[in-house]
Structure 1
Amino acid sequence: MSNSKEPKPTGRPTPATLRAAAPRQKLRSRRDSSAEPKYASRRTQAERSETTRKQLLEAAIKLVRAKGFGGLRTVEVADLAGVSRGALLHHFKNKHALVVAVLQYVNELSLTQSARRAQSARTVGDPIEGIIQDARDFYFGDYFFLELAIAMSDESSHNLKRETYQISRPTRFSVEAAWADTLVSAGLPKQLASDILALTMSVVRGFSVRTLIENDPEQFSRLLKVWRDIIRLHIASSIKSRK
C-alpha cells in the first residue's frame, strides 16, 4: 500500500489551464457599434390625411358602382374605407361634397392616364389600338359608371348633375384632343383623325352601356376587332382618294 497522497484540488488554475482558456471578449458598447438601429420613417399628418381621403374616395366609387348613386350612404363609405364617420366628415361635410370630390379625383386620374398613353402611342404601338384600349378602360370601368349613375339620378340631384357636366366635359375633350393630335402626328388629315376618334369613342361607349342589359366580353372583343378592320379600310380608302 502506497503512502503517496493524491494532490487535493486547490481550486486555483494551473498554468496549463490558463493556456487553454478562451480569450475573454471585450464587450462593445452600443455607442461603439457601427450598426445603427433602423426605424421606419413616420408619415406626416398631411400624408396620413391624404391616405384617408383617398380611401374614402375609392370606397365611394365602389359603392356607387354596386348600389347606384341613390344607394350611396356616407356611413357605408366610412365603414368600407375603414375610418370613422368623424374622419369622413372632416374631409367631406356631406354626401354632395364627397361625390364632387370623387368626380374631380376620377377625372384627374383619367386625364393623366390617357394623356400619357396618347403621347406614348406616337412612338410605340398602333394609335388606333391605343385609342380603343384607352376608351375601353374608361367606359368599361368604375369611373364612367359613376358619372352615368349621377346622370340617371332623379331631379333632386340637379345641382350635382350640373357639376358633373362641368367637371367631366373638359376632361373628355382634353382626352380626345390628345388622341387627335396623336393621329395627326401619325400622318392622318385632321378631319379624318377627328372622325375616326369620335366614331371609335361612340362605339366603345355604346358597348359599355349595353353591359347594363347584356354583358358579353367575348362578343365585345370580337366586334371591336371588326371595328379596327373597318377603320383601317376607311383610312386606306380616304388617303388613296386624296392622292
Structure 2
Amino acid sequence: MSNTKDPKLTGRHNPGILQAPAPRQKLRSRRDSSAEPKFAPRRTQAERSETTRKRLLDAAVKLIRLKGFGGLRTIEVASVAGVSRGALMHHFPSKHALVVAVLTYVNEMDFAQSTRRAQLARSSKDPIEEIIQDAKNFFFGDHFFIGLAIAMSDESTRRLRRETHQFSRQTRFSIEAAWLDTLISSGIPKQLASDVLALTLSAVRGFSVRRLIEDDPEQFSRLMNVWRDIIRQHLAASIPGKSRRQDRKS
C-alpha cells in the first residue's frame, strides 16, 4: 500500500530539485565600518620647515658644546641634524647667521623655563633653594658654556659678540628680575632681596667655572648647604620675626 503522504525534506541535496540560493551577506562599506583606518594629518610646509630648523639648532648646540665655537663646521651641523647642506643654507645662509640663531634659541628657552620656576616659587617654603636649583641648571648646563665660548672668542668674531651680547644680557637681567620679585613677595625687603640674589647667583656661577679645573660635586653640595645656612641666619637677623614666620610655614 503506497504512502500518500508527502515525503519529508532532509538535509541532503537532491540534484533534481532547484533550491533557492542562500541570501548574500551585505558587505559593509568602509564608510560604515566602525574600525576606519586612522591617518595622521599631513604636516604643512611651515611645520616641516620649523622641524628642520629646530633640528639644525639642536645639532649646533651639541657641536658648540662639544667642540667649541672655533670647531663648529656648518657641514657637520647638517650631518648631525640629518639634513642636506642645501636645507641648512636655506635656513642659515652663513655660520654667523646660524650662531646668532643658536644664541637666540637657547636664551628663549632659558627665559621661559626660569621665569616659570620663579613664578611657581612664590608658593615655595624656601625660595632661596629654588634660586640655587635654577641657577645650577643654567650655570652647570650647556647653554652657559656656549655663551661663554662665544664671549671668549677672538677678535674675528667681534661683530658676532656685539650682536649676541645684548640679548643674552637682557635675558639674564629679565630672569633675575623675576627671581627678585619672588623674593620680595616672600616678605624680604627689596635691597636685601637684591643682595641675597646677586650673592647666590655669583656663588653658583663661581662653582660652575671652577669645574673647568676641578669638578667636585660633593664639595659644591656641601658648600651650598653652608651658604643656605648663612643666608637664613642673615635674613633672620635682618628681618625681625622672619625666622618665626618661616618656622610656621614649615
TM-score, length-scaled by structure 1: 0.88
Amino acid at match of 1:42: R
- For 1:40, the equivalent position in structure 2 comes to 40
* Matched residue SS, 2:70: helix
Q: Which runs of 5+ in 1 are unaligned?
A: 1-9
Identity %: 73
Residue aligned with 2:93, SS? coil
5 Å matches for 1:1-243?
Answer: 12=14, 25-240=25-240
How far 1:34 sits from its partner (Å)? 3.9
Taking the aligned partners of 1:60 and 1:81, their CA distance within structure 2 comes to: 8
Q: Matched residues in 1 for 2:150 and 2:29: separation? A: 66
**Corresponding residue SS for 2:164:** helix
What is the CA–CA distance in structure 1 between the aligned matches of 2:232 and 2:212, rounded to whole Å?
A: 30
Q: Distance in 2 between matches of 1:230 and 1:35?
A: 65
Q: How many residues align?
A: 229
**How far is the alpha carbon of 1:136 from its aligned partner?**
0.5
Deviations 1:31-80 (A, max 9, x none): 43343331111111111111111111111111111111100110111111
Amino acid at match of 1:120: L
In 2, the alpha carbon distance for the partners of 1:41 and 1:92 equals 28
Q: Which amino acid aligns with 1:214?
A: E
Q: How far apart are the structure 1 equivalents of 2:33 and 2:150?
A: 62
CA deviation profile, 1:104-149 (whole Å, cap 9, x unmatched): 1111111111111111111134210110011100111111000000
> 2: CA distance between counterparts of 1:226 and 1:25?
81
Letter in 2 for 1:218: E
AA aligned to 2:142 is: D
Root-mean-square deviation over aligned CA pairs: 2.3
Distance in 2 (CA, whole Å) between partners of 1:225 and 1:143 is 25
Paired amino acid for 1:12: N
Aligned to 2:8: none
- For the residue of structure 2 that corresponds to 1:232, the secondary structure is helix
CA gap of 1:28–1:141, structure 2 versus 1, over 3 A, is same
Cα distance in 2 for residues equivalent to 1:27 and 1:107:
59
Structure 2 gap segments, 5+ residues each: 1-11, 243-250
